[in-house]
Amino acid sequence: MTVSIDAYAKKVYQQIHSTPEVGFEEHKTSRFIAEELKKMNYQVLENVGGTGVIGILDSGKAGPVFGLRADMDALAFEKNKIKYVFHACGHDAHSAIVLATAKKVSEQGIKQGKLYLVFQQAEEKLGANQMIDSGQLDELEELVGIHLRPIQECRLGQATPALYHGSSKRVDVQVKGLNAHGARPHLGINAVDASVMLTNAINCIKADPDVSHSIKVTRLNAGGDTFNTIPDKATLTMDIRAQTNEVMESILEKVKLAVEHSGKHLGGVGEITSINGSPAAEYDAHMVALAKNAIMEELGESLEAISTPGAEDFHFYTQRLGVKTAYIGLGADLSPGLHHPEMNFHQDALINGVNLLFNMTRKKLM
């Protein structure tokens, strides 16, 4: 009995949804996806960058090296002191969409180039970097991402060809002072005072007002169990957001200056211990046009580009590999919101996603 692509997508979704696994621990999920790809006669690379899976279909002829990317990881939650894992960001749906697209393509074959199916681990933990570090994606030229969108942004039957994520950075700082007795504070260097000076300096940073951005200290730890000791060290964490990479770089330069100079007159020393995060979206115009045409042909009309302050490690593929990309935001009547422990969506969105990705693949390779 032949299973329709719609039914297959929903079946795959239910399978992956029922076995949620956090980033870098997607063992059941990756094993299931790899076995399905093998049934479709794809060349399959397993344990890529950890738990990632890559499926490759080679026409044997020259042509584009075109890819579709899906994330696989779920999120950890806790309720009533019970910890559990749940797919609250739709990565189960994204994997189902790409795997069903793989099935549809395999049934018809490709006439030129190569198709890469990138099932990435640990999007929530920047797992794209490990996929890139593996070297298995070095020949990739073009890549399409897809993500379900909240109902407030995009309804079922709608889609945008360009979901513009902002850049997100976490900056960790250590502030060093000097211990002293609380009765003789002049003999010490209070790391709390220096941290407050740094926080005020951070709050004074200005960037281009035409570009959405925010800079804030979100964590400050200092002192020990003894209340009457001048603390000699403190740690701060900043959350920084910017809608463009250029504004993010300008903010980071000012943060470095603030860390170096704030609190110096107190004798405190600040040092950045780590900077981590994701770059902002930078899409290829041709790829976005390809996605827009697919949306218009499959759904009737296309939404304009949508900007979101949320971040995505998908953009490392552009930044580090120079891959030309587009990223579809797919309407699914998703509510109450992404990362909500009761997130749900309309499963008819799955076949819409398959049709969009297949349309793009057909025009590039078939």
Binding positions: 89, 91, 124, 147, 339
Cis peptide leading into 20, omega within 30 of 0?
no
Question: By the 8 A CB rule, do 5 and 100 touch?
Answer: yes
Q: Are strands 163-165 and 306-308 parallel, antiparallel or unpaired?
A: parallel
* 3-state secondary structure string across the chain: CCCCHHHHHHHHHHHHHCCCCCCCCCHHHHHHHHHHHHHCCCEEEEEECCCEEEEEEECCCCCCEEEEEEECCCEEEEECCEEEEECCCCHHHHHHHHHHHHHHHHHHCCCCCEEEEEEECCHHHCCHHHHHHCCCCCCCCEEEEEEEEECCCCCCCCEECEEEECEEEEEEEEEECECEECCCHHHCECHHHHHHHHHHHHHCCCCCCCCCEEEEEEEEEECCCCCCEECCEEEEEEEEEECCHHHHHHHHHHHHHHHHHCCHHHCCEEEEEEEEEECCCCCCHHHHHHHHHHHHHHHCCCCCCEEECCCCHHHHHHHHHCCEEEEEEEEEEEECCCCCCCCECCCHHHHHHHHHHHHHHHHHHC
- Find the length of the chain: 366
- Known binding-site residues for Mn(2+) equal 89, 91, 124, 147, 339
Q: CA–CA separation, 153 vs 306, rounded Å?
A: 8
CA distances to 13, 79, 306, 310 from 94, rounded to whole Å, are 9, 26, 19, 17
